[in-house]
């Protein structure tokens, strides 16, 4: 089991307080029970409550305990997989539909932020996919061509412009995607929760699902103390399912390979330095096989991340790599110290695309966002809400059976060890 170096992280230090929630202590009956209080579960709860449907979220720990409270905050359009590859995997009709819905995903996020006045450091100036070497440049040019033929506002910037917009040295170009932006992710999750509560949803924290039984045409969910009886269940535990409880529908846990990802945040930088790094405040990541990301927060901290887990053996290696990388990317940065660091679990699927399952009668899940969960989680949460209220074509993914990945543990170890080896060597010489 991964060492969880997560709480409190930077996002907890700077997010507005979570709305008041408490553990479920009684027996409750609702139309829809939602397991998991991240973007997916909270978006489902909000959209159900907006539609006047009685819904309750049960969250094992706290709002945003999973990926939703630990991520980089890049509100991306589409998946990490190239658009043409996505269509080749899913077929033209399904693939293009998914691309349209996820391409519009950032708009849904920023519309909700505006509609509910969510304070989450929201900036929508695009994101920068920074290219490394000629191979990287080729890759972003392919992405540009594939998105452009679908009408998306993306543009490859030459090296000088990429350097000016990122403030970073060493890149051969960048793909600017104007649909995208950044947020403070935990603040967004807490804002969704606040909006859902105000619209009439119920949210119970420190309330793990422990077991589920079918009773007539309802499900009875047993938590630590109370029970929830519901006609429909939305399982939104994603890469954090199984972390805190032995959830029912166990096979669900055997599908995702866990990719660990860490972040280090500096002290707030002096104004002159902060004005040179990402001056328009896009978020950035690179084309490296062991990718790295960087962004600024509202207090002018630089947040640098990459693949790896901050366990006792690896933390020193990753920290030293982060320090070397930051100085190499931004040679003018001066003395900085890392004030916050944390890691999290990204849920990867074998084809790098999300999966939709009907796990039992009226039990539905979408998971496996492969590191792209802010906009997709919000989109799929809304789609799940529509699905359980009768629109069975609302989810832009075909239902598939669970396909346990026998190699997932090995792959996870490989990601962890490979990233550690890469970071030990990288930028030393």
Ligand X SMILES: Cc1cc2nc3c(=O)[nH]c(=O)nc-3n(C[C@H](O)[C@H](O)[C@H](O)COP(=O)(O)OP(=O)(O)OC[C@H]3O[C@@H](n4cnc5c(N)ncnc54)[C@H](O)[C@@H]3O)c2cc1C
Q: For binding to ligand X (CB under 6 A), which residues are involved?
A: 35-41, 58-61, 65-68, 70-74, 76, 208-209, 236-241, 243-245, 247, 261, 344-346, 369, 371-374, 377
Look at the alpha carbons of 304, 310, 312, 317 in this order and tell me if their dihedral is positive or negative.
negative
Kindly tell me which of 159 and 319 has the beta carbon lying closer to ligand X. 319
Taking the C-alpha atoms of residue 68 and residue 37, their distance in angstroms, rounded to an integer, is 9
For the bound state, the minimum distance from the C-beta of residue 334 to ligand X, rounded and expressed in Å, comes to 27
| DSSP single-letter state for residue 374 | H
For 46, the token pair is 């909000």
What torsion, rounded to 10 degrees, do the Cα atoms 88, 92, 93, 97 define?
70
For the bound state, the minimum distance from the C-beta of residue 388 to ligand X, rounded and expressed in Å, comes to 16
Kindly tell me which of 111 and 149 has the beta carbon lying closer to ligand X. 111
* Cβ–Cβ < 8 Å for 179, 106: yes
For the bound state, the minimum distance from the C-beta of residue 256 to ligand X, rounded and expressed in Å, comes to 10
The residue of the chain with the least Cβ separation from ligand X equals 373
- Among residues 333, 255, 344, 286, which one has the least CA distance to residue 139? 286
Kindly tell me which of 55 and 335 has the beta carbon lying closer to ligand X. 55
Kindly tell me which of 344 and 396 has the beta carbon lying closer to ligand X. 344
For the bound state, the minimum distance from the C-beta of residue 286 to ligand X, rounded and expressed in Å, comes to 13
Residue partners of 329: CB distance under 8 A and separation at least 6:
168, 169, 170, 294
For the bound state, the minimum distance from the C-beta of residue 363 to ligand X, rounded and expressed in Å, comes to 13
For the bound state, the minimum distance from the C-beta of residue 222 to ligand X, rounded and expressed in Å, comes to 11
Taking the C-alpha atoms of residue 244 and residue 292, their distance in angstroms, rounded to an integer, is 29
For the bound state, the minimum distance from the C-beta of residue 213 to ligand X, rounded and expressed in Å, comes to 15
Kindly tell me which of 34 and 165 has the beta carbon lying closer to ligand X. 34
126: left (phi over 0), alpha (psi -120 to 50) or beta: left
How many whole angstroms from its chain centre is CA 107?
16
Largest CA distance in the chain: 67
Kindly tell me which of 83 and 241 has the beta carbon lying closer to ligand X. 241
For the bound state, the minimum distance from the C-beta of residue 332 to ligand X, rounded and expressed in Å, comes to 26
How many whole angstroms from its chain centre is CA 345?
10
For 353, the token pair is 């695309």
Kindly tell me which of 19 and 145 has the beta carbon lying closer to ligand X. 19
Kindly tell me which of 145 and 178 has the beta carbon lying closer to ligand X. 178
CB atoms near residue 404 (< 10 Å): 11
Taking the C-alpha atoms of residue 45 and residue 377, their distance in angstroms, rounded to an integer, is 12
For the bound state, the minimum distance from the C-beta of residue 209 to ligand X, rounded and expressed in Å, comes to 4
Kindly tell me which of 109 and 156 has the beta carbon lying closer to ligand X. 109
- Among residues 384, 354, 387, 355, which one has the least CA distance to residue 372? 354
Taking the C-alpha atoms of residue 30 and residue 53, their distance in angstroms, rounded to an integer, is 8
CB atoms near residue 206 (< 10 Å): 18
Kindly tell me which of 71 and 420 has the beta carbon lying closer to ligand X. 71
For the bound state, the minimum distance from the C-beta of residue 244 to ligand X, rounded and expressed in Å, comes to 5
Kindly tell me which of 57 and 334 has the beta carbon lying closer to ligand X. 57
| DSSP single-letter state for residue 20 | P
Q: Is 173 helix (H, G, I), strand (E, B) or coil?
A: strand
The count of C-alpha atoms lying within 13 angstroms of the C-alpha of 13, restricted to the half-sphere facing its C-beta, is 15
Strand ordering across the sheet containing 173-177 = 154-158, 173-177, 127-131, 283-286, 292-296, 302-307, 257-266, 338-348
Strand 227-235 with 363-367, pairing? parallel
**29 CB burial (10 A radius; 0-12, 13-18, 19+):** middle
For the bound state, the minimum distance from the C-beta of residue 206 to ligand X, rounded and expressed in Å, comes to 10
């Amino acid at each position: 089991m991964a060492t969880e170096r997560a709480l409190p992280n930077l996002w907890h230090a700077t997010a507005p307080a979570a709305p008041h929630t408490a553990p479920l202590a009684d027996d409750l009956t609702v139309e829809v029970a939602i397991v998991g209080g991240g973007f997916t579960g909270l978006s489902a709860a909000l959209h159900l409550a907006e539609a006047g449907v009685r819904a309750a979220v049960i969250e094992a720990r706290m709002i945003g305990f999973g990926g939703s409270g630990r991520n980089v905050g890049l509100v991306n359009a589409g998946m990490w997989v190239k658009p043409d590859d996505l269509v080749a995997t899913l077929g033209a009709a399904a693939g293009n539909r998914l691309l349209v819905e996820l391409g519009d995903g950032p708009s849904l996020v920023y519309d909700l932020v505006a509609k509910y006045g969510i304070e989450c450091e929201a900036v929508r100036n695009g994101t920068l996919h920074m290219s490394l070497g000629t191979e990287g440049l080729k890759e972003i040019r392919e992405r540009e061509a594939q998105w452009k033929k679908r009408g998306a506002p993306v543009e490859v910037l030459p090296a000088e412009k990429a350097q000016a917009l990122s403030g970073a040295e060493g890149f051969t170009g960048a793909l600017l995607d104007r649909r995208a932006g950044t947020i403070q992710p935990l603040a967004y999750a807490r804002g969704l929760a606040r909006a859902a509560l105000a619209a009439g949803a119920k949210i119970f924290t420190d309330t793990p699902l422990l077991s589920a039984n079918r009773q007539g045409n309802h499900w009875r969910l047993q938590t630590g103390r109370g029970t929830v009886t519901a006609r429909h269940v939305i399982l939104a535990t994603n890469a954090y399912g199984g972390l805190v409880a032995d959830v029912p529908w166990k096979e669900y846990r055997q599908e995702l390979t866990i990719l660990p990802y860490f972040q280090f945040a500096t002290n707030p930088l002096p104004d002159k330095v902060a004005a040179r790094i990402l001056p328009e405040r896009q978020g950035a990541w690179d084309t490296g096989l062991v990718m790295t990301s960087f962004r600024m927060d509202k207090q002018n901290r630089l947040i640098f991340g990459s693949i790896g887990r901050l366990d006792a053996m690896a933390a020193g290696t990753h920290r030293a790599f982060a320090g070397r990388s930051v100085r190499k990317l931004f040679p003018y940065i001066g003395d900085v110290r890392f004030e916050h660091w944390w890691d999290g679990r990204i849920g990867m699927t074998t084809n790098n695309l999300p999966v939709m399952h009907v796990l039992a009668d009226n039990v539905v899940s979408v998971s496996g966002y492969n590191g792209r969960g802010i906009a997709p989680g919000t989109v799929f949460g809304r789609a799940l809400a529509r699905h359980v209220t009768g629109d069975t074509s609302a989810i832009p993914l075909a239902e598939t059976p669970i396909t346990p990945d026998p190699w997932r543990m090995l792959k996870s170890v490989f990601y962890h060890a490979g990233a550690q080896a890469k970071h030990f060597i990288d930028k030393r010489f």
